[in-house]
Amino acid sequence: MAVEKKHFTCVICPIGCEIDVELQGSDVVSMKGEKCAKGREFVLQELEEPMRILTTTIRIKGAKWAMLPVRTDEPIPKRSLFRVIEELANIELQAPVKMSDVIIRDIAGTGANIVATRNMKRDKKDKFA
Amino acid sequence: MEADVTVIGSGPAGLVAALQADRSGARNVLLLEREEELGGILKQCIHNGFGLEQFKKDYTGPEYAERLIEEIENTNVRYLLNTMVIALSPDRTITAVNPEQGEFQIKSKSVVLAMGCRERSRGSINIPGTRPAGIYTAGVAQRFVNIDGYLPGKEIVILGSGDIGLIMARRLALEGAQVKGVYEIMNYPGGLKRNIVQCLNDFNIPLYLSHTVTEIRGKERVEGVVISRVDEKMQPIGGSEQFVACDTLLLSVGLIPENELSKQAGIELSPITKGPITTETMETGVPGIFSCGNVSTVFDLVDYVAQTGMTAGRNAARFASAAWKKEKNSVEVIPGENVRVLFPQRYSFEDDLIFFIRCARPIEGPVRIDISPLEIHFKKLYARPNEMIRVKVPQDKLRDITGSIEVDITER
């Protein structure tokens, strides 16, 4: 089987090691450029399933602002980012919301929860409320 | 109105300064904010990566702000919202205005400047062309998307690879816009490496180094931009022009400390940092006026901003309590070989000296940072202009300095 080459920039710390990997199928034949074990772990995770924290916003009514900032409470597979975003696009919340409130459990089957990242009080000034 | 310590601005620097002043024993701490809530720009920075050092947590901007605001609520710090400071005098009299009190004055024993910075705009980089709708600074677009819920456009070109531009590239891609590319005039990226990877590479957004926008086209709305390659002197290369169709141009071309009040108070500014010249205590050239965070110099990390806020708050409290030596000897701190930005600019023998250093050109290999005339040096794995270097020299090593202190970065 042919050897496949892949390149990664590690984002675990600010150094940002440039890491070259040679693969045969799914087996790592060689890895070069990582300055610590965390870099190796990072690359193995990227090869298996890249994971990311998602931060975004959800529409909210009855608050001072139009959007409530939210995040996933743990990293989710990179390939599911847009699926999550699409699901959140259909949601509209009602103020008040407290920081760390769980807005949606197990979003899009990722196992992660969507949580609020700030307090948003009820505000009578919102003419749309 | 009277106060022991008055802090102007409630972003990360101001919040931390007010907290620290209170904890250091100042009885009457007043925090002034021109917007309708505390937190400053953190409220629109909904991405994570805040407070890794200070709290050992990976907070988003709003979470980081809420944590500090909660602490403020549990202290005796008073704060005024919707309150704009319109004048500051060298005797620390503040003139402010708000809807409840109209115009009023505050006599404060000490003052902490924490006004932050603002974005450079089209005017400051002189892009030729028409003046259509659809040209925004990256931070304004960030506010539209994250707070007001508007998408600024569908086909986006980003000029400049500063962190806010990179963060917005990802944000707009997630919200369904097509980000056509990020164009950077320098031959290295402006933002942190992790942002290049997670914001551009993850979303297949191309980054073009040594490129710039040389013309904006469109009558009512942006229809596209002309992109040119630039030479080593950053001059556009004739014949390299290409047209890129887009409806929106975002500018992420640098930040400038906001120092109108500092100038009014007669505070001397540094031509390099564009902020007040301060000592390691964060005191400016005008006694009793301290400055911290991005109004002093533009930092890369909120942790660094918070650290200067803490120092300014602590010392402002000392000044207000009279536990402060008013006549102080200080020496100059000078940027040497391959140092573009050096903060603080003076040393007054009161505390450890924590340097924030930005190199002039990148060195991708082992470097040493020499502090002369002290025989102290620090080793680092690399030096990059987009990543400030922070080093600490203990006070007892500095006791015998009489002349100036110089900082050099060289390959080792």
The reported pLDDT for the residue numbered A13 is 80
The full DSSP string for B319-350 is HHTT-S-SS---EEEEE-TTEEEEE-SEE-SS
Residue in chain A closest to B380 (alpha carbons) equals A15
Is A127 part of a structural domain of the chain?
Answer: no
Q: What does residue B224 show for φ and ψ, rounded to 5 degrees?
A: 165, 175
My answer on whether A59 and A110 are in the same domain is yes
CATH code at position A97: 3.10.530.10
pLDDT in tens, B389-408: 999 999 999 999 999 999 99
- Alpha-carbon distance of B43 to A60, in angstroms, equals 16
Residue A71 contacts B, CB cutoff 8 Å: yes
A contact residues 11-70, partner B, Cβ 8 Å cutoff:
11, 14-16, 35, 50, 52-57, 59, 64-67, 69
Tell me if A118 sits within 8 A of B43, measured CB to CB: yes
Nearest to B149 among A9, A52, A66 (CB): A66
pLDDT band at A128 (very low <50, low <70, confident <90, very high): low
In a domain, A109, yes or no: yes
Domain co-membership, A61 together with A111: yes
Q: What are the C-alpha distances in Å from B164 to residues B86, B137, B227?
A: 28, 9, 21
Check: CB of residue B385 under 8 Å from CB of residue B362.
Answer: yes
Q: How far apart are CA B130 and CA B221, in angstroms?
A: 10
Same domain, yes or no: A27 and A62: no
Strand order across the beta sheet in which A4-9 lies: A4-9, A18-24, A27-32
For residue B52, name the pLDDT band (cuts at 50, 70, 90). confident
Nearest CA in chain A to B52: A13
pLDDT band at B193; cut points 50, 70, 90: confident
Select from 3.50.50.60, 3.40.630.30, 3.40.50.720, 3.40.50.10320 the CATH code of B1-118+255-325: 3.50.50.60
Instruction: Specify if A129 maps to a domain.
Output: no
User: What is the CATH number assigned to the segment(s) B121-253?
Assistant: 3.50.50.60
Residues A41, A73: one domain?
A: no
* Separation between Cα atoms, residue B240 and residue B229, nearest integer Å: 6
Query: Do A70 and A101 have their domain in common?
Result: yes
Q: What was the pLDDT predicted at B53?
A: 86
Judge: B147–A66 Cβ closer than 8 Å, yes or no: yes
Same domain, A63 and A112: yes
CA distance B32 to chain A (A): 20
pLDDT value of residue A129: 44
Compute the average pLDDT of residues B129-152: 97
Contacts with B37 from chain A: Cβ below 8 Å: 64
Q: How far apart are CA B340 and CA B332, in angstroms?
A: 16
Supply the ipTM of this predicted assembly: 0.92
Question: How many structural domains does chain A have?
Answer: 2
For B143-177, write each residue's pLDDT tens digit. Answer: 999 999 999 999 999 999 999 999 999 999 999 99
Task: Show residues of chain B in contact with A65, CB under 8 Å.
Answer: 147-148
Residue ranges, comma separated, of all CATH 2.60.40 domains in chain B are 329-412
Q: For chain B, what percent of residues have pLDDT higher than 70?
A: 100
Average of per-residue pLDDT across A4-26: 90
Q: Which of A92-101, A118-127, B59-68, B133-142 has the lowest mean pLDDT?
A: A118-127
Using a CB–CB cutoff of 8 Å, tell me whether B52 touches chain A.
no
Query: Which of B37, B52, B64, B146 to mutate: most A Cβ within 10 Å?
Result: B146
The reply to whether A65 and A109 lie within a common domain is yes
Place of tokens 């709003």: B62
Distance from CA of B30 to the nearest CA of A (A): 23
Tell whether the model's pLDDT for residue B325 goes beyond 80.
no
Q: Would you say residue A75 lies in a domain?
A: yes
Cβ contact (<8 Å) for A67 and B48?
no
Q: Which of B67, B147, B178, B390 to mutate to probe the A interface, most A CBs <10 Å?
A: B147
The answer to whether residues A26 and A64 belong to one domain is: no
Q: Which residues contact A88 (CB under 8 A, 6 or more apart)?
A: A56, A58, A70, A104, A107, A114
In CATH terms, the fold of domain B329-412 is: Immunoglobulin-like (2.60.40)
Residues paired with B8 in a beta bridge: B32, B113
Helices A81-89 and B163-174 cross at an angle (nearest 10°) of 70
Whether A60 and A11 share a structural domain:
no
Domain region containing A38 = 4-48
**Percentage of residues of chain B with pLDDT beyond 90:** 93
- Confidence label for A125 from pLDDT (cuts 50, 70 and 90): low
CA distance B169 to B237: 26
Nearest to B149 among A16, A67, A71 (CB): A67
Q: Is residue A123 part of a domain?
A: no
Query: Please, where in chain B does CATH 3.50.50.60 lie?
Result: 1-118+255-325, 121-253
- Extract the tokens encoding A21: 């990997």
Q: Note which residues in 96-125 of chain A have CB less than 8 A from chain B.
A: 99, 117-119
DSSP of B367-391, one letter per residue? Answer: EEEEEETTTEEEEES-B-TTS-EEE
Q: How far is B263 from chain A (nearest CA, A)?
A: 34
> Is residue A64 domain-shared with residue A111, that is, in the same domain?
yes
Q: What is the overall mean pLDDT for chain B?
A: 96
A 10 A CB-CB count for B184 gives 24
- Select from A9, A66, A99 the Cβ nearest to the Cβ of B63: A99
- A129 in contact with B, Cβ within 8 Å: no
Contact A15 B381 (CB under 8 A): yes
**Nearest one of B169, B175, B367, B315 to B249, comparing CA atoms:** B169
User: How near does any CA of chain B get to the CA of A23, in Å?
Assistant: 21
Q: Which of A9, A69, A81 sits opposite B60 (nearest CB)?
A: A69
In this prediction, residue A14 carries a pLDDT of 74
List chain A residues with CB under 8 Å of B382.
15
CA angle B300, B305, B307 (to 5 degrees): 130
The model's pTM:
0.94
Q: How many CB atoms lie within 10 A of CB B84?
A: 13
Exposed/middle/buried for residue A73 (C-beta within 10 Å: 0-12, 13-18, 19+): middle
* Block residue for tokens 């409320």: A129
Mean pLDDT, range B297-310, rounded to an integer: 96
Q: What pLDDT score was predicted for residue A123?
A: 87
Q: What is the pLDDT of residues A31-86, one digit of tens each?
A: 999 989 999 999 999 999 999 999 999 999 999 999 999 999 999 999 999 999 99
Same domain, A70 and A93: yes
Flag if A71 and B201 touch (Cβ within 8 Å). no
Asked if the structure places residue A100 within a domain, the reply is yes
